């Protein structure tokens, strides 16, 4: 089995495990364990933060790795987005005040110091710029990779699907039921898993820089490449 098929098998295996895990969590676990598991500091949230943290570390290695010829700006932008994603899941967006910094009310409250509004505004301005950059540059590429069943793109698509399900549960009446909260928290957890899988699975697709051996300069490398394609002789 090829590496791509194996990676996709892993992606869809995790997707198949999601409804099973939701059923076990909602109906088989004792209510006390199930309730504590989906709490803000429960084990489901800890698993979510762990996978997001691992994805962020992987992206950092792409930024500082000199042997990978990937776009450093893309890696930096993606790492920043994942970092804010991590902080959002850790509920640090409401650390300074009872009002979420992601809501417009935060920036109009008289009780919030101006320096907090400026810092939060800059953080989300940079986030918006990076998201727009990634969407403008890679939306068409990602869509084509999804159609080609490229594993990292499939994982990214599955992330979007399960994250959308979690948000639907959060914004609907299901949020006031136990099963609804279980679906929301478990889907958020699986979304983090798919983000981690996408960052791992994209590494084999990145181009590798050809190492320069001792005594061989970049100019020598360029001259050697040109010698493989000799220029036509000048016309008399």
Dump pLDDT digits (tens) for 147-158.
Answer: 999 999 999 999
Q: Is the dihedral angle over the CA atoms 68, 74, 77, 79 positive or is it negative? A: negative
Flag whether pLDDT at 103 surpasses 80.
no
Long-range Cβ contacts of 124-128 (<8 Å, 24+ apart)? 126/80, 127/80, 127/81, 127/84
Q: Which residue has the higher pLDDT, 126 or 4?
A: 126
Cα-to-chain-centroid distance, residue 54: 10
Least confident range of 6-20, 102-116, 118-132, 185-199: 102-116
CA distance 153 to 159: 10
Q: Is the dihedral angle over the CA atoms 125, 130, 136, 142 positive or is it negative? A: negative
pLDDT value for 3: 74
Position 226 confidence tier, pLDDT thresholds 50, 70, 90: low
Average model confidence (pLDDT) across the chain = 83
Structure tokens at 215: 């005594």
At 208, give phi and psi (nearest 5°): -100, 140
pLDDT value for 41: 78
Which pTM was predicted? 0.81
For residues 172-190, give the mean pLDDT.
90
Flag whether pLDDT at 96 surpasses 60.
no
């Amino acid at each position: 089995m090829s590496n791509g098929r194996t990676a996709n098998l892993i992606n869809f295996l995790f997707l198949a495990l999601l409804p099973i895990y939701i059923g076990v969590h909602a109906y088989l676990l004792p209510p006390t364990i199930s309730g504590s598991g989906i709490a803000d500091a429960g084990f489901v949230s800890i698993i979510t933060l762990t996978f997001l943290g691992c994805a962020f570390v992987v992206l950092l290695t792409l930024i500082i790795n000199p042997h990978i010829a990937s776009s450093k700006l893309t890696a930096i932008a993606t790492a920043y987005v994942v970092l804010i994603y991590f902080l959002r899941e850790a509920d640090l967006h409401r650390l300074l005040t009872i009002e979420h910094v992601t809501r417009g009310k935060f920036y109009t409250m008289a009780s919030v110091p101006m320096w907090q509004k400026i810092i939060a505004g800059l953080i989300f301005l940079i986030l918006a710029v990076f998201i727009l950059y990634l969407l403008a540059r890679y939306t068409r590429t990602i869509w084509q990779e999804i159609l080609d069943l490229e594993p990292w793109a499939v994982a990214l698509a599955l992330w979007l699907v399960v994250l959308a399900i979690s948000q639907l549960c959060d914004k609907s009446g299901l949020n006031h039921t136990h099963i609804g909260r279980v679906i929301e928290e478990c889907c958020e957890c699986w979304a983090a898993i798919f983000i981690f899988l996408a960052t791992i699975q994209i590494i084999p697709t990145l181009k590798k820089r050809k190492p320069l051996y001792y005594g061989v300069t970049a100019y020598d490398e360029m001259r050697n490449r040109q010698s493989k394609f000799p220029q036509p002789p000048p016309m008399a």
